[in-house]
């Protein structure tokens, strides 16, 4: 029979597996058993609605057996099984979920092969770390033929029809031969196998059975000087079957929680936070939730599925119950198990379900409280959380017309120019100076770039703190918040800053001069600006460009990036400092050299545009102008 080749990326992974670069080989059994358990889940789920399955929950089990003579380790399940196409699809390539991540990480850093295997659950293939030959014999539910998949490693695999009476899958692994450094015999020892199962697969909800060799005193042995013993076999269930979320917190180690998370949610890093909760009352449930330590690679794609796994008394009902999590906490992973949710509930009914709504409400509150307490008690971890998912909370303040902002505002962090670190709005307000009316923020590309903005000059002089914001969502977030603790939030670029009035106010004469300047500039600049005004923000700089009305430059940039034809444009207001030498110089040419005065005026606008980070409208003209003045 012709051998088929593995797809290339699988081949690479297989090579690594076979050459056993990764040292924690023990996990292969966990991977194989968890596949068996998933397969049983599927058939068990089907049996709820399909009478023909003819099995009830208690009929399902996983069997493990080892034979030292033939070096065979077999894991059998009576789950859903696979047909020919499934075998091809599932075992011919790395399972698509794992493979994508694998590829991404590989591309990122080609030298990190070892880590990758250690970190990802690479599933079925991990068996090649310990086995030199693998046969999968399987029969799918509803299919009358059975198939055998066979492979000895990277050179490929075969699939052929075979005999198998019952539905389910046997994975038969022939262990590698021992070498000087490596002992593979141990995976045929019942002690090793049973301890691996207890360690990694204890919570699997179906019995994992193994024939255990025992020894007992022979009944007829006379108990005097030389008692005789005999060996016998006894089937034993090795796992407690209690799902980890049903166990009291004190009985579960951090490592167990972490392992459960990593395996279940296909992450390779320990979670940042484990949230375990048990609620009794109107609705009873247990939930085990996790906040990942890093933003999942597909977090901002459609591929990422928000939701918690929903169980009803230990039976999986829904892989991803979206309605259990609000959008702003979509990074949370976990499971919820409630006896109050009906087994046969449909997706449509779930959305209406009162029990579900109630659970979603209390879960949201729980997550929020956990985050608040992390923020208070463990700032370092919170900062890590913030860098992974902070922008999600900011989006949360914006979406649905800001209905959630009250819930979320105290969880937000912003970079404080004075304290040079992230602070909360509460901390900002507490540190506000007595004569400071507003909360100030500026948006820009980087903290360093913002810090050089001329509009900050007077704020700095007053020693007022300014929040430096660098994310796309920030402008929307601030506009949605509007206020915090009765303090208005003001954009340094767009709003009147309400700074304490300067003692040396403009005299009437100066006002007249300013009016002249303004009129001249308005006339010269025409429709390029919607207004020219005397600035209250400037001291040592001549001009600044600000945006009037709802739309800021950041929003303009955002909308135009999303849709280049949108034609969105913020209303440009040129604020001037009439006392500045450059402005005075411009005015001095009005009577003697009008073209020069106009050129100065255009250049001042271009300067302001550059500073504001918006495009200078006609760069060729601008260059001409500058050159003309240099001649």
Query: Under the rule (CB under 6 A), what is the footprint of ligand ADP?
Result: 31, 35-36, 39, 77, 79-82, 90-91, 95, 97-98, 123-125, 169
Bridging pattern class, strands 483-484 and 146-153: unpaired
Closest CA to 320 of 265, 246, 399: 265
Closest CB 31 distance from ligand ADP, rounded Å: 6
Closest CB 82 distance from ligand ADP, rounded Å: 5
Whichever of 144 and 180 has its CB closer to ligand ADP, that residue is 144
Closest CA to 477 of 558, 374, 546, 421: 558
Identify whether the C-beta of residue 232 lies closer than 8 Å to the C-beta of residue 256: no
Closest CB 13 distance from ligand ADP, rounded Å: 10
Whichever of 263 and 513 has its CB closer to ligand ADP, that residue is 263
Whichever of 97 and 588 has its CB closer to ligand ADP, that residue is 97
Closest CB 336 distance from ligand ADP, rounded Å: 22
Minimal CB distance to ligand ADP: which residue? 123
Taking CA atoms, 400 is separated from 397, 484, 549, in Å, by: 8, 19, 22
DSSP structural state of residue 573: E
Closest CB 106 distance from ligand ADP, rounded Å: 17
Identify whether the C-beta of residue 438 lies closer than 8 Å to the C-beta of residue 432: no
Length of the chain: 631
Whichever of 80 and 408 has its CB closer to ligand ADP, that residue is 80
Closest CB 32 distance from ligand ADP, rounded Å: 7
Q: Which helix H or strand E contains 193, and what residues bound it?
A: helix 190-200
SS (H, E, C) 426-446: HHHHHCCCCCCCCEEEEECCC
The sheet carrying 229-237 orders its strands as: 156-162, 146-153, 131-139, 168-175, 72-77, 62-67, 208-217, 229-237
Between CA 195 and CA 185 the distance in angstroms is: 15
Whichever of 36 and 350 has its CB closer to ligand ADP, that residue is 36
Whichever of 134 and 393 has its CB closer to ligand ADP, that residue is 134
Whichever of 6 and 541 has its CB closer to ligand ADP, that residue is 6
First to last CA, the chain: 85
Between CA 604 and CA 33 the distance in angstroms is: 71
Closest CB 225 distance from ligand ADP, rounded Å: 51
Closest CB 127 distance from ligand ADP, rounded Å: 9
Instruction: Tally DSSP H helices, then E strands, for the chain.
Output: 20, 22
Whichever of 82 and 458 has its CB closer to ligand ADP, that residue is 82
């Amino acid at each position: 029979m012709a051998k088929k080749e593995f797809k290339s990326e699988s081949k690479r992974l297989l090579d690594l597996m076979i050459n056993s670069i990764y040292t924690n080989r023990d996990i292969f059994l966990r991977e194989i058993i968890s596949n068996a358990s998933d397969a049983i889940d599927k058939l068990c789920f089907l049996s709820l609605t399909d009478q023909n399955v003819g099995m009830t929950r208690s009929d399902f089990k996983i069997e493990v057996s080892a034979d030292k003579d033939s070096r065979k380790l077999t894991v059998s399940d009576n789950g859903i099984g696979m047909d020919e196409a499934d075998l091809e699809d599932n075992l011919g390539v790395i399972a698509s979920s794992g493979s994508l991540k694998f590829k991404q990480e590989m591309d990122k850093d080609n030298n990190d092969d070892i880590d990758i295997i250690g970190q990802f659950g690479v599933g079925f293939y991990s068996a090649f770390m310990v086995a030199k030959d693998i046969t999968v014999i399987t029969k799918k539910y509803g299919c009358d033929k059975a198939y055998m998949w066979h492979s000895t490693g990277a050179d490929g695999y075969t699939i052929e029809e075979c005999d198998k009476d019952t539905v389910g899958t046997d994975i038969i692994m022939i262990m590698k031969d021992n070498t000087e450094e490596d002992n593979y015999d141990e995976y045929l020892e019942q002690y090793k196998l049973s301890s691996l199962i207890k360690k990694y697969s204890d919570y699997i909800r179906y019995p994992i059975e193994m024939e255990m060799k025992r020894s007992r005193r022979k009944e007829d042995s006379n108990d005097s000087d030389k008692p005789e013993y005999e060996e016998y076999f006894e089937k034993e269930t090795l796992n407690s079957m209690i799902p980890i979320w049903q166990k009291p917190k004190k009985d579960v180690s951090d490592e167990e929680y972490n392992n459960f998370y990593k395996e279940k949610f296909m992450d390779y890093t320990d979670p940042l936070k484990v949230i375990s909760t048990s609620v009794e009352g109107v609705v009873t449930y247990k939930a085990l939730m996790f906040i990942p330590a890093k933003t999942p690679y597909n977090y901002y794609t459609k591929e990422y599925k928000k939701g918690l796994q929903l169980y009803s008394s230990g039976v999986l009902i829904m892989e991803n119950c979206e309605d259990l999590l609000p959008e702003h906490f979509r990074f949370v992973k976990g499971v919820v198990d409630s006896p109050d949710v009906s087994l046969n509930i449909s997706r449509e009914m779930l959305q209406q379900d009162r029990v579900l709504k109630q659970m979603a409400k209390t879960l949201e509150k729980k997550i929020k409280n956990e985050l608040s307490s992390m923020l208070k008690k463990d700032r370092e971890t919170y900062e890590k959380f913030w860098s992974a998912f902070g922008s999600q909370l900011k989006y949360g303040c914006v979406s649905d017309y800001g209905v959630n902002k009250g819930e979320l505002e105290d969880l937000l962090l912003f970079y404080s120019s004075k304290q040079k670190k992230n602070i909360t709005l509460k901390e900002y307000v507490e540190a506000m100076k007595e004569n400071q009316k507003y909360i100030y923020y500026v948006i820009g590309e980087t903290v360093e770039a913002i810090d050089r903005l001329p509009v900050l000059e007077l704020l700095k002089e007053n020693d007022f703190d300014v929040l430096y914001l660098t994310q796309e969502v920030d402008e929307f977030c601030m506009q949605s918040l509007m206020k915090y603790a009765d303090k208005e939030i003001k954009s340094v670029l767009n709003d009147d800053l309400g700074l304490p009035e300067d003692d040396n106010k403009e005299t009437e004469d100066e006002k007249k001069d300013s009016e002249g300047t303004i009129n001249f500039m308005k006339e010269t600049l025409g429709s390029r600006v919607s207004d020219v005004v005397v600035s209250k923000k400037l001291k040592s700089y001549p001009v600044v460009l600000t945006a009037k009305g709802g739309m800021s430059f950041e929003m303009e940039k955002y909308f135009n990036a999303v849709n280049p034809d949108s034609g969105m444009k913020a209303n440009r207001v040129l604020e001037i400092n009439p006392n500045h030498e450059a402005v005075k110089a411009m005015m001095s040419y009005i009577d003697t050299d009008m073209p020069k005065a106009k050129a100065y005026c255009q250049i001042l606008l271009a300067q302001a545009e550059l500073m504001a980070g918006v495009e200078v409208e006609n760069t060729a003209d601008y260059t001409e102008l500058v050159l003309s003045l240099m001649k």
